[in-house]
Amino acid sequence: MKKLVIYFSHTGENYMSDGIRNIDKGNTEIVAEKIAAKTGADLFKVETVKDYPYDYYECCAEAKKELQSQARPELRV
């Protein structure tokens, strides 16, 4: 049986325990890679057509708007 780990992960400015800082790889991507390594699964990264803002606060504002309007961003194929 084939296995697949599908994930969505944000990079750029993120809130961390030591404050806001830039990350090149999101936490979800790191966990997805670990799961894939343990299970022998393939990885598939879900990406949106429109990128989320790099700035932490702008990204949070965009996410809140999407949540309130129940938006489902278009995905890249």
What does the domain layout of the chain look like in residue ranges?
4-69
Q: How confident is the model at residue 61 (pLDDT cuts 50, 70, 90)?
A: very high
CA distance 1 to 74: 30
Which two three-digit tokens encode residue 26?
Answer: 């999101």
pLDDT at 35: 98
DSSP SS3 for 5:
strand
* pLDDT tens figures, 2-57: 999 999 999 999 998 999 999 999 999 999 999 999 999 999 999 999 999 999 99
Mean pLDDT (whole number) for 57-64: 96
Provide the whole-model pTM.
0.83
Predicted pLDDT of residue 47: 96
